[in-house]
Structure 1
Amino acid sequence: MSARRSILFVTTLASFLTPFMGSAINIALPAMGKDLGMDTIGLGWVTTSYLLSAAVFLLPFGRLSDKFGRKKIFMLGIVFFAITAFASALAGSELLLIISRFFNGAGGAMIYATAIAILTSSFPREERGKVLGINVASVYLGLSLGPTLGGLMTSLLGWRSIFALIGLLATIVIPIAATKLENDRKLSVSGTFDLSGSMIYGLSLALIIYGFPKMPGLQGLIFLLCGIAGLWLFAVIEKKAPDPLLQISSFSGNQVFIFSNLAAFINYSATFALVFLLSFYLQQIKGLSPEKTGLILMAQPVMMTLLSPVAGKLSDRLEPYVLASSGMGLTVIGLGAFSFLNPGSSITFIILLQVILGLGFALFSSPNTNAVMSSVNPSHYGIASATLGTMRLTGQTMSMGISLMMFALIMGNKGAGLENTAGLMTSIRYAFVVFALLCIPGTFFSMKRGKIRK
């Protein structure tokens, strides 16, 4: 196997693990709730704690990978990811499970921050869209297999087996990555690590993510405003710092980079909670088993897996904004249609809408990633990859935050139990309304980015 193919194989395999875990766990959430006595809001934090941690640590690890070598951070991430996955499998209470998921997110952040950067720096510009499309397809393959295997494993072996399998798969990646990835000290950049900027950034992001689900209450508003103020302070400090965590000046005039990242943030904010919500709908309202639920939820990621390499390759020839904006438009249609979901909706209707959304996601993701990575210099690949990953993870966390906010507003803390199917149905429908409306400005940002080829 050639060096480039080895790099593609290792990074693709690593990129498969995190979405596979996320989609498999979403299917197992009702079983976790029954086993550990958790309500819908607590179960939401099983997913959100992971996303929160990954979003907070992603940008610092991206900067560290540019400074000290991407292979080092990548390897450390896989090892930590495996250890914390086993810890989640052994968790005996709601608190321990959420804590282990938080640390699992830190390991995931190291993988997110380096995989795309390693891949981008290893292939010429004319092949970039193709290999990024393959990498994105591996993400969607994980999303495809997660519901099916997760549902089957939950029914036969229990929800803990999912975490154990993830730990084993990550362990298998470790020796392959250690032998196949080249040391990249020549890519490292000079300067000191911006510890104070990293702390302000992480704390601000955590306040926003933690406070958003508590809106519109006073406590949520206070957390949200403090987080926004912290990000403003972070931006001010970074402009004056000699070696900043994020070189804002380098990207401030880069319209493609800015609007592509904004589009990614909105896209993931509007779409990530889809499987989370449909898992509850199919199991708690329709009364389906985890296995049947997993099979139904395969429709969307299968479409993404099949079409992402095609969309990525097309973005090497066509302007990414054309493909990505078309995908965002399809997403608006699919999410809007899901807002009409009710207890009597047919399975055919649900599968059809997933196919539409799968096509929209595929047209958006690979071309958008290609646009971001093609808009910066090679020396900034690590921080560009981490910035895009931060938009993705922050968007995913916001998506969960919107869902949890709907649960809290409509069901309340006392009525958030899984048995409240009427409140659950109403919460799901209102969440889809918000997501569809959110995607409309995302389509504008996607079109606004402009061309990457002059």
Structure 2
Amino acid sequence: MEQSSNTILPFNNYQKLVIALLALLQFTVVLDFMVLAPLGDYLMKSLSITPKGFGVVVSSYAFSAGVSGILAAGFADKFDRKKILLFFYAGFIVGTLCCALATTYWMLLGARIITGLFGGVIGAISMTIMTDLFEVNQRGRVMGFVQMAFAASQVLGIPIGLYFANLWGWHSSFLMIVTLAIVIAIVIVIKVKPIDKHLALQSDKSAFLHLWHAVSNKSYQTGFIATAFLSVGGFMLMPFSSAYLINNIKITPDQLPMVFMFTGIASIIIMPLIGKLSDKVDKFMLFTAGSALAIVMILIYTNLVPIPLWQVVLINMVLFMGIMSRMIPATTLTMSIPDMKDRGAFMSVNSSLQQMAGGIAALCAGLIVTQKNSTSPLQNYGMLGLVVSIIIAVCCIFVYRVSVMVKKKQANAFQETSKEELQLSEV
């Protein structure tokens, strides 16, 4: 029975192990995607890729992940969650290895499609596991720790990946991810218990019928829309971040790892605090505050002129803090919408729509942003920032509706628990 009070529940040792493994797993998946943006300038120059072509590379992962999530949704609640996690993680490892072996634009594009088919579903499976194993008033902290994968990828993964790229070529960055992912997969096989309580609750014999029940649920649809809008901003700004810093702000390739490292350090400090705060205060109010900060910083960031390195680092740190202050409470709210029997399907469809919305955003960003040649400044980046800010404001409307639904669900659950306790006391 989920807790409805604001009591902070402690984690047991097994839960701590699961949190650590999910965070490490998410680290590899996030790094695989996020390292593509810092490597963007390397890739665009070495493989002669235009901004539009690079937008296609980024969005190909998103679209293939979206298709995969829809196909997997009907089956997501039919298997032990540990087994389905390992299946998709193995495919992700193979796809990342193909990225490492790519030598042409088309090989890289194909490799990103394979990686997206498997990697794009892993986040949904991880969130389903979190929701199954943790009470509602633990999930903010769990999300805070697991979302530290984003920060850790910036503090450790991206700087190391860029160092490897400078030393041995961009291919070595993907090989690093493959090696780490294999180790994590082995530990999951050995240490994680089966996660199959949901199997006893299944009533839909057909996978297609189970998918239909998930996508036709009006409450679930609101969550889907909120998540799609939530993902757009990151997908629009991220692909061209390194090219913008190098060509517009005149940051050198050697200075680029420092920008990502300090941004990640700031996130590692703030994210557990946001997660804990998310379990204590109103999640929508926290989300709104993060959205306001993100809008202000995006409008500043996308209209910068060449400035000293320390100012670039400071602006990036505050910007990322605003973005994460949105992600944690919004994701925690969305995770609380589905019932246990529908969680796998909901999370898979939710992830698919998130990825496809992000893919459309990356393509649109590639159409908005232009560049005369590989070394000239990016044009229309300020316009891109304005578009992203408007989308963030619209997103607040849908997250508010999700917040209202979740509070109503928790109130109903509390009333049911109170009735059961009253009946037992009378007996």
The question of a shared fold, defined as TM-score above 0.5 by the shorter chain, is answered with yes
State the partner residue of 1:284: 247
State the partner residue of 1:432: 385
Question: Is the 1:269–1:435 Cα contact (8 Å) retained in structure 2?
Answer: yes
Give the count of matched residue pairs: 393
1:263-314 CA distance string (max 9 Å, x none): 4322321233434323002223444433311211334443333222222222
Cα distance between partner residues in 2 of 1:110 and 1:268: 15
Cα distance between partner residues in 2 of 1:356 and 1:440: 18
Q: Partner amino acid for 2:374?
A: L
State the partner residue of 2:341: 379
Matched-pair identity in %: 20
Q: Does 1:247 align with 2:221?
A: no
Q: Partner amino acid for 2:272?
A: P
Q: Partner amino acid for 1:406?
A: I
**Structure 2: tracts of 5 or more residues without a match:** 1-11, 412-427
The one of 287, 308, 318 equivalent to 1:356 is 318
Residues 1:61 and 1:248: Cα distance change in structure 2 (over 3 Å): closer
Deviation at 1:155, TM superposition (A): 0.8
Cα distance between partner residues in 2 of 1:243 and 1:267: 26
Question: Is the 2:211–2:345 Cα contact (8 Å) retained in structure 1?
Answer: no
State the partner residue of 1:443: 396
Q: Secondary structure at the match of 1:105?
A: helix
Cα distance between partner residues in 1 of 2:68 and 2:154: 23
Residues 1:353 and 1:447: Cα distance change in structure 2 (over 3 Å): farther
The one of 387, 393, 406 equivalent to 2:368 is 406
Deviation at 1:448, TM superposition (A): 4.1
Q: How does 1:304-383 map to 2 (within 5 A)?
A: 304-342=267-305, 344-383=306-345
Q: Does 1:192 align with 2:206?
A: yes
Residues 1:389 and 1:302: Cα distance change in structure 2 (over 3 Å): farther
State the partner residue of 2:80: 69
Cα distance between partner residues in 2 of 1:58 and 1:387: 6
Q: Does 1:111 align with 2:125?
A: no
The one of 24, 40, 60 equivalent to 1:29 is 40
Cα distance between partner residues in 2 of 1:353 and 1:275: 15
Deviation at 1:104, TM superposition (A): 0.6
Question: Is the 2:76–2:348 Cα contact (8 Å) retained in structure 1?
Answer: no
Q: CA RMSD in A?
A: 2.3
Residues 1:149 and 1:246: Cα distance change in structure 2 (over 3 Å): farther
Deviation at 1:95, TM superposition (A): 0.5
Q: Secondary structure at the match of 1:291?
A: coil
Question: Is the 1:246–1:383 Cα contact (8 Å) retained in structure 2?
Answer: no
Residues 1:42 and 1:314: Cα distance change in structure 2 (over 3 Å): same
1:164-189 CA distance string (max 9 Å, x none): 11111111112111122222344233
Question: Is the 1:113–1:386 Cα contact (8 Å) retained in structure 2?
Answer: yes
Cα distance between partner residues in 2 of 1:436 and 1:77: 34
Given the two structures, how large is their TM-score scaled by the length of structure 2? Answer: 0.84
Question: Is the 2:38–2:241 Cα contact (8 Å) retained in structure 1?
Answer: no
Cα distance between partner residues in 1 of 2:86 and 2:112: 19
State the partner residue of 1:58: 69
Question: Is the 1:53–1:102 Cα contact (8 Å) retained in structure 2?
Answer: yes
**Structure 1: tracts of 5 or more residues without a match:** 195-241
